[in-house]
Structure 1
């Protein structure tokens, strides 16, 4: 049955069934998608709108610098930041996503 779902429907299904927040790599693997991370982030923008219409919310665990621990809390974009503003490290843990009811 999953073979007839769109990429967005697969992503939504994975997020709804997950017990923990997932990053784009985990979402891609669980949904069986063959898309680069940048396209998964783009799909998540649309998934957020779809979930909102259903009375749900795409929640984000913010990206975090692995070097100094800085959290990117007030970011509007879903994509992983490229560099830490505090220590300038590029070792950034990607944001993770989950659905909040």
Structure 2
């Protein structure tokens, strides 16, 4: 019987996907014992692990539901709290997938 770490479960889940997912889907399927904030933190480490393996964690930027603003040049993986253009807090979280 093999036991995987949270990070390994997240990587395996992302590798099995055909389309990007947000942290809530990752939490539901691969890491139900982690909070979304913990998953964002794990994803930062996942990106480093994947880079060593010659893979890349791709981030589909978060979007404002109100005006459509895309948070393209964002360093942090976490979902932004407010839109800088319209000040709306209705933000779709970023989505993630692994590029081979």
TM bucket (normalised to shorter chain) is over 0.9
- Please, which runs of 5 or more residues in structure 1 have no aligned partner? none
CA distance in 1, matches of 2:93, 2:73: 15
Stretches of 4+ aligned residues off by more than 6 angstroms: none
Q: Deviations over 1:6-57 (max 9, x none)?
A: 0000000000001110100001111142111000000000000000000000
**Equivalent residue runs for 1:1-101 within 5 Å:** 4-101=3-100
TM-score using structure 2 length: 0.96
By percentage of residues, which structure has more helix? Answer: 1
Contact 2:17/2:97 (8 A) holds in 1: yes
- Please, which runs of 5 or more residues in structure 2 have no aligned partner? none
The count of residues paired between Structure 1 and Structure 2 equals 100
CA distance in 1, matches of 2:33, 2:4: 14
